[in-house]
Chains A and B, each alone.
Chain A
Amino acid sequence: MGHGSGGKMTQDLIKNVFYPYFNSTPLSEGNDFARAALPESANLKGRLSISTDCHSVSPIQFPGGDIGKLAVCGTVNDMCMSGALPLYLTAGFILEEGFPIATLQQIVASMAAAAQEAGVAIVAGDTKVVEHGKADGVYITTSGIGWIPESRTIGGQYAQPGDVVIISGSIGDHGMAVLTARGDLGFEADIQSDVAPLNLMIANLLQAAPNTHVLRDPTRGGLATTLNEIVQQSGVGMILNETEIPVRPVVRTACEMLGFDPLYVANEGKLIAILPAAEAQAGLQAIQDSPYGDQAAIIGEVVAQPLKRVLLRTEMGTTRILDTLAGEMLPRIC
């Protein structure tokens, strides 16, 4: 079952199972948030950003975070990708019978800390306990509501040829942190997850580069999969420079030794920003001046052709097609 790894199978699942039932205009735009109109009589300006995310992770606590921090940041970040100011969160817990209360308290505490940093209030919640063995410790679902100021139109469908692509920092940290924690692989330098709320970074970016077209967090499926989603949505192409893409040496080593491609490994505190070239330097500077953004880099550009393809100029000088992976990474060499 490869439905969870964020590739083409996930997209198919969403398209074939959920869309037919949950059909609405905001949903069918294909973003990780919905942009819903306010009732006219409310006489308010702007729109709502609504997002929801289910979280399961093994191990539940890992270097750099835990499932609680992940649950808050995941939904906050998804909401922020509309250019919204995040306001409220709800949280739902599914607990496995016998789950240690002390651990739950640690998780809840880290949720509170993350919520405070992100400036959101957790305003509602629910908990169900299921029989031992029917769940893996704890699952958390969070939903969020934010406010999108009137003038903002940001979404995966707005990338235009000539735009530049910025990544806010090194890629693959979260995925490799969780993996190496799971196997206790004993790396000398522990790999820390990058899980973090990005609301401040985005606020700074939008001030410096108000005409930003796309914001997206490259979570499951990694940078390559997320960029493929964007070229599909926008009907454009993209060319990246391998040498510009930041990867921490320890993450690169771990990937090399385990056979992963960092371009396809999950992140939880990274931002992809796609903006007009005229605002690129200002935008980059704003991200670099924000928390979690000091390693930000311009990694490529949006082009008209090849349509709906992401290309990578490799360090070697060749041009590689970065495709969406269906399911897991599988060997190709025959």
Chain B
Amino acid sequence: MNQRITEGRRISVQGIVQGVGFRPFVYTQATNLNLTGWIRNISSGVEMEINGSADGVASFLRALQFSLPPLARIDRLTVQECQPNHYTQFEILPSQSQPGDYIPVSPDMSICSDCTAELFDPANRRYRYPFINCTNCGPRFTIIQDIPYDRPKTTMAGFPMCPDCHAEYANPLDRRFHAQPVACPVCGPQIWFEDQQYHHLSNQEEALQTTRDWIRAGKIIAIKGLGGFHLTCDASNDAAVRELRSRKKRSQKPFALMAFSLEIIQKYARVQPEEASLLTSPQKPVVLLQKHTGAPISSEIAPGQNTLGFMLPYTPLHLLLLEPQPGFPEVLVMTSGNLSEEPIAHTDEDAHRRLHQLADGFLLHNREIHTRVDDSVVRLNQGEVYPIRRARGYAPDPVILNQSLPEVLATGAELKNTFCLTRDQYAFVSHHIGDMENYETYQAFQSSVEHYQTLFRVQPKMIAADLHPNYLATRYAQERAEREGLPLISVQHHHAHLAACLADNQQPAEKTVIGVIFDGTGYGTDDAIWGGEFLVGSIRSFIRPYHLVYTPLPGGDLSVRKPARMALAHLWQAGIDWMPELPACQALCYEERTLLRSQLEHHINTPQTSSMGRLFDAVSALIGVQQTASYEGQAAIELEALASQDQPRRVYSFSIEDGQINPAPLLRDIIADWSNGVPLPVLSARFHHAIASMTLEVCQRLRKSTGLNAVVLSGGVWQNMLLLESTTTGLKESGFEVFTHRQVPANDGGIALGQAVIAAANYNSI
């Protein structure tokens, strides 16, 4: 092999290349290949120069492409030939930053296998230390205050490294080289336990054991974790779970669960191989799994559902907490530390103030959480990840677009809010923010927008917001656009869903598709409330050739919370009698029904809606599955949960005329079946497949009239997996190309991405 130095290369790299062991990786490769030169971090990524033999340089470039460290990701690699410069060695040079440049910040990553091994190794100096981490794992986004990502700009700034940690930190060949949160029991953060009166009861290992003792005794403990506080209790203890529900004022919404290992999870739920890889992925999301019937878990965990949301421990603290031991519960509830719809508590002061009444004890630590981030929730769609709530582990990774965009801020929707900032070919979709009507959430929204602007050096030139005049995110956009003199673009909610799914699938702005947007509610361009829409369009524009027939939504959000009202409104619209024996009629007292009828007849507070989500609610109530919704989508979710898995022989029909899809025939069929004693699982299956087959029929009509063959499925209703699978299968069998979500949720958590790309596509025309 010719070892003579004949070649020189100047290389610049963009992507996730800081704080993930990229420079040690390069250093090791270069040294092994006898290359000389240097590498340094700059604000926009990493740059380096290498000198060496032709073979050495070629092997180096191959390694850059194929053997990156686990958390690194290269978005752009530029290689230029240059003269060899007679360096004598390969060196890591100090960082250089230029104002205005930026690099993507890594999301927080779960503890790696090396660190896990050290955690449980009695000979290791970090044995049972709850904050062990390395460049391949640990906190990132939640502790960063600014870039470049260096320790003084994180919440680790207050923990000076001990000599041992510093030696690891400074050694390019060490797994902890420049791992900013590196720490050990000597120099790093510590845990302690407090009771409800803030009495300090124990420290370190003892604090852990106190926590476990209290959990075993059926108590509710607030635990400070990575992105915020969890409330935890024994998931098999009915009384504890019930107590947690009543304290949190969360009557039925499912609780997330955590278990030590995959093997334990498999005792409670079916885990398909792809689900196992999601559970064990570095993101460690909550994965919604099919619950085993008779699993030994409190029925209070997820009433009316056939799924359980499980995650594996993602920090050393969680591993220690869940460590199996006879008599200690295998599965713990790990729900966000908050009251009802408030955002998750994330500072100690916050926790004391807001969780005081909720928890019996507190397991605390002194590593500050700069940005609160909830657990992510995903499920599996055709072997791939299907996001439900995109937060820890995924945000703030950008969605990579297929073209460069101007700098745009999109403020998102009202509930499940996320926002989005674009720059170059990146769309920085924020982590889940929450319900904007809540003041604390709104504050988190404001400060997070500022934080993302700082981290990614984005100064918006344009703002996009929902068309709904009463969304607080829209009000924020209006106020800010006015104050800063920026153009503001109002985006129709379902067009945003359509665009979000296109951008999610890296489609260009010109790509025209059929958009089947089935959703709860969104403000339409005709002032009605849309939600069962067949759109034809692209990121640029859309038309609306078909939609569900308008039905009154008596009392607005009241009918969302009381699906029984929606059922009767649908019957009223369809001209069907309110037979008193129908479950939805039984659910409302005589006075309420009289008043409802009067409200419908006199059009008192009855906005018109074409919502598909509300049709699901109506059917759920109509046949007696669920009459009230204590959380979003409850009635529809319970209707899905009980559906028979067999393909029904017969499905219900719609009438479709002049672009109006009328469910009246379907409602009549359902009532007839119900009156004839057809079992609910069959009714539900027939209904689901009816929606799928109606969707196929309308798509076929649209293909005929437009020649389009690509279909986008977006909107919150597409979280219904039975409907999604049955529709996707039907469409694919008929030769359609089907786009579903992969990186952002089909629900309103994806709206901001859609708004941003729509605004950018219209940037030059404003």
Quick check: B520 and A330 within 8 Å, CB to CB?
A: no
With contacts A331-B521, A334-B415 known, is A184 near B598, CB below 8 A? yes
A residues 287-307 touching B (CB-CB < 8 Å): 306
- Please, which residues of chain A bring their CB within 8 A of the CB of B598? 183-186
CB distance from B71 to the nearest CB of A (A): 34
Quick check: B605 and A259 within 8 Å, CB to CB?
A: yes
DSSP class of A's interface residues: helix, strand, loop or mixed? loop
Partner pick for A332 among B468, B519, B555, B613, CB 8 A cutoff? B468
Quick check: A331 and B249 within 8 Å, CB to CB?
A: no
B residues 738-766 touching A (CB-CB < 8 Å): 747-748
| Bound CA–CA A327/B527 (angstroms) | 10
Quick check: B339 and A317 within 8 Å, CB to CB?
A: yes
Quick check: B469 and A331 within 8 Å, CB to CB?
A: no
Verify if B15 is at the interface (C-beta below 8 Å from A): no
The segment out of B133-141, B362-370, B438-446 that lies at the interface is: B438-446
CB distance from B505 to the nearest CB of A (A): 22
CB distance from A231 to the nearest CB of B (A): 14
B residues 488-534 touching A (CB-CB < 8 Å): 493, 519-523, 529, 531
| Bound CA–CA A186/B557 (angstroms) | 23
B residues 520-572 touching A (CB-CB < 8 Å): 520-523, 529, 531, 553-561
Quick check: B249 and A316 within 8 Å, CB to CB?
A: yes
| Bound CA–CA A170/B595 (angstroms) | 23
Verify if A318 is at the interface (C-beta below 8 Å from B): yes
B residues 61-102 touching A (CB-CB < 8 Å): none
Verify if A260 is at the interface (C-beta below 8 Å from B): yes
| Bound CA–CA A309/B554 (angstroms) | 29
Quick check: B716 and A259 within 8 Å, CB to CB?
A: no
Quick check: B604 and A258 within 8 Å, CB to CB?
A: yes
- Please, which residues of chain B bring their CB within 8 A of the CB of A334? 413-416, 493, 519-522, 531, 613, 632, 716, 747-748
Verify if B475 is at the interface (C-beta below 8 Å from A): yes
Partner pick for B599 among A183, A309, A331, CB 8 A cutoff? A183
| Bound CA–CA A186/B592 (angstroms) | 11
- Please, which residues of chain B bring their CB within 8 A of the CB of A183? 598-599, 601-602, 604
The bracket for how many chain B residues form the interface is 35 or more
CB distance from B636 to the nearest CB of A (A): 13
| Bound CA–CA A26/B524 (angstroms) | 39
Partner pick for B469 among A8, A256, A318, CB 8 A cutoff? A8
- Interface size of A by CB at 8 A reads 32
| Bound CA–CA A332/B555 (angstroms) | 12
Q: Which residue of A lies closest to B519 (CB)?
A: A334
Q: Mask for A229-267, Cβ within 8 A of B = 1, else 0?
A: 000000000000000000000000000111110000000
Verify if B673 is at the interface (C-beta below 8 Å from A): no
Partner pick for B437 among A185, A306, A317, A321, CB 8 A cutoff? A321
CB distance from A251 to the nearest CB of B (A): 14
Verify if B607 is at the interface (C-beta below 8 Å from A): yes
CB distance from B298 to the nearest CB of A (A): 24
Quick check: B555 and A258 within 8 Å, CB to CB?
A: yes
Verify if B341 is at the interface (C-beta below 8 Å from A): yes
Q: Which residue of B lies closest to A320 (CB)?
A: B437
| Bound CA–CA A259/B554 (angstroms) | 7
Verify if A319 is at the interface (C-beta below 8 Å from B): yes
Quick check: A259 and B438 within 8 Å, CB to CB?
A: no
| Bound CA–CA A328/B469 (angstroms) | 10
Quick check: A259 and B559 within 8 Å, CB to CB?
A: yes
Q: Which residue of B lies closest to A317 (CB)?
A: B339
Verify if B342 is at the interface (C-beta below 8 Å from A): yes
- Please, which residues of chain A bring their CB within 8 A of the CB of B560? 331, 333
A-B contact pairs, 16 of them (CB 8 A): A182-B604, A183-B604, A185-B595, A258-B604, A311-B439, A316-B339, A317-B249, A320-B439, A327-B470, A330-B529, A330-B607, A331-B609, A332-B414, A332-B468, A334-B493, A334-B520
Chain B positions within 8 Å of A, measured between CB atoms, are: 249, 339-342, 413-416, 436-440, 442, 468-472, 475, 493, 519-523, 529, 531, 553-561, 592, 594-596, 598-599, 601-602, 604-605, 607, 609, 613, 632, 716, 747-748
16 extra A-B contacts, CB within 8 A, seeds A317-B339, A329-B605:
A183-B601, A257-B555, A257-B596, A258-B605, A259-B605, A319-B438, A319-B439, A321-B436, A323-B475, A328-B605, A329-B556, A330-B523, A330-B529, A331-B607, A332-B468, A332-B521
